[in-house]
Amino acid sequence: MIGRIRSQAVDTSKFVTDWMEHRTGIVTMMEHFLYEPVPKRGAWLYTLGSATLFTIVLQFLTGILLLFYYVPTTDHAWDSINYIMTEAYFGQMIRGIHYWSANFLLVVIGLHMAQVFFSGGYKAPRELNWVVGVVLLLLVIVLAFTGYLLRWDQDGFWASVVGMKIGSYSPFVGGPTIHFLLGGDVIGPATLSRFFAIHVWLLPAVLAPFIGIHLYLLRRHGVFGNEFEYSDRLAKLHERQRLESYERYEENDGQPYMGRRDRADRNGDEDEE
């Protein structure tokens, strides 16, 4: 009985897998994604990028949950957050995760960036991935800034006032930009609506495709990690280049190069040819 159920389950899962594979190619895709070889030595160091991704995912999930209660009006914004913190089921935890993972996000994004910088991971052919990474950093900073005002408490309110005052000093673009963000001449209900729209709709919608591009480019060129991951391959490359330079020397001079140590190997190679 149990054996029959088991074999039926195996048949069914095989049927479903084949059906999906035939129509979407998803099994080949998963194999391709999951069995990609990655550097072994620095495996712990390379978790910084995935930690950044994870904290951003946490931001998305807890942000969506906060939207169930949050009201983006000057009259109710603070009250709704107070309700989340005191009354709502797991409200304190959901807002706490949103707040703390935002802080962790800025820490790991900095560490991730430093790791890429000091290992030279931005070099050819990975330049554009660095550029996309800087775009992501700027988006996250603006998200952090716009999120502060949404609390509509004294801290967030006055910090935003100061922030926009600083922004208004920008030459040429400062005035119109701040006027647009404020939705008028002074901070008020329109400002909260705009910061809400930017924080909840605009920036996440821009952020998500850039994360996609970042991951696509990462898979295309592979994790770089560090030069130390490639020391054997670099040694082989340099050895081959050295031998080639000897050969070029012999071809040009017609004289055997006296300094070379691999005479026997090379004769063997010639016999094979």
Tokens of 78: 């603070």
- Identity of the residue, 175 or 256, whose beta carbon is nearer to another protein in the bound complex: 175
Shortest spacing between CB 175 and another protein, in angstroms: 12
Cβ proximity of 84 and 69 under 8 Å = yes
> d(Cα 14, Cα 2) in Å, to the nearest integer?
18
Residue where the block lists tokens 């790791």: 115
Closest-CA residue to 231 (of 40, 82, 48) = 40
- Identity of the residue, 105 or 207, whose beta carbon is nearer to another protein in the bound complex: 105
- Identity of the residue, 212 or 256, whose beta carbon is nearer to another protein in the bound complex: 212
Shortest spacing between CB 2 and another protein, in angstroms: 25
Shortest spacing between CB 25 and another protein, in angstroms: 15
Shortest spacing between CB 16 and another protein, in angstroms: 19
Residue 23's identity, in one-letter code, is: R
> d(Cα 74, Cα 81) in Å, to the nearest integer?
12
> d(Cα 154, Cα 161) in Å, to the nearest integer?
10
- Identity of the residue, 48 or 207, whose beta carbon is nearer to another protein in the bound complex: 48
Tokens of 167: 């922004």
Shortest spacing between CB 227 and another protein, in angstroms: 4
- Identity of the residue, 2 or 174, whose beta carbon is nearer to another protein in the bound complex: 174
Cβ proximity of 200 and 209 under 8 Å = no
Report the 10 Å Cβ neighbour count for 133. 23
Shortest spacing between CB 156 and another protein, in angstroms: 7
> d(Cα 189, Cα 137) in Å, to the nearest integer?
28
- Identity of the residue, 171 or 209, whose beta carbon is nearer to another protein in the bound complex: 171
